[in-house]
Chain A
Amino acid sequence: DVKVTQSSRYLVKRTGEKVFLECVQDMDHENMFWYRQDPGLGLRLIYFSYDVKMKEKGDIPEGYSVSREKKERFSLILESASTNQTSMYLCASSFRDLGQYFGPGTRLTVT
């Protein structure tokens, strides 16, 4: 079974803090994704990566950056957290163009 893990289930940060969300997958998938999920808006793609050190902007990259130094790990960075970044963050991975497998999510609250 595919396993995608995220470093925290719940996180509370203050406005202006730098926030790191970590994601690890154990299936040697080349593609990894970061989404946020908000009520009424569904899943929105922030960034994705199709190879180590490669990254592409998704639909809402502003205020975020990513890092992929190893194939199994994809990090999402909030350079200076703001209250409008309070959300559920979901990481996913996929093999080639097949379906994406999601982690359990990190609920981030920025106060």
Chain B
Amino acid sequence: GESVGLHLPTLSVQEGDNSIINCAYSNSASDYFIWYKQESGKGPQFIIDIRSNMDKRQGQRVTVLLNKTVKHLSLQIAATQPGDSAVYFCAENKARTGTASKLTFGTGTRLQVTL
């Protein structure tokens, strides 16, 4: 398959365990954050978002935590499955022009699910 990044940090998790993927963001003025999943050879897939007025948001099997004090974002995946194997990266809004958010993307973490 195609690689979306060389020498990405890798998190190896056993099937059924919980996964925690971390992201440090750069701009204390950022007020909107998104987690994406990218499988080999595919475009990034929107997973979950959170605004800065929240500390936590839950989706289906995923939870995003935001710590504005230390500019840290995490993605928790419950009961990790083989289909969760992918590169995960966070994005923060850098600026707005009109209604468009310009996002800054992290380089990503590769999640490997072992059986």
Contacts and interface: CB of A to CB of B under 8 A. Distances in A.
A33 B99 CA distance: 13
Given A51-B98, A103-B43, A39 B49 contact: no
B103 interface: yes
Interface in A46-105: 48-51, 54, 56, 58, 88, 90, 94, 96-105
A45 interface: yes
Interface string B65-78: 00000000000000
B107 A42 contact: yes
Interface residues of B, number: 31
Interface of A: 4, 30-31, 33, 37, 39-43, 45, 48-51, 54, 56, 58, 88, 90, 94, 96-105, 107
B105 to A, nearest CB: 4
Nearest to A9: B41
Nearest to B103: A100
Interface in B1-17: 2-7
Given A97-B93, A98-B49, A107-B2, A90 B44 contact: yes
Contacts of B61: none
A41 B91 CA distance: 14
A14 B32 CA distance: 40
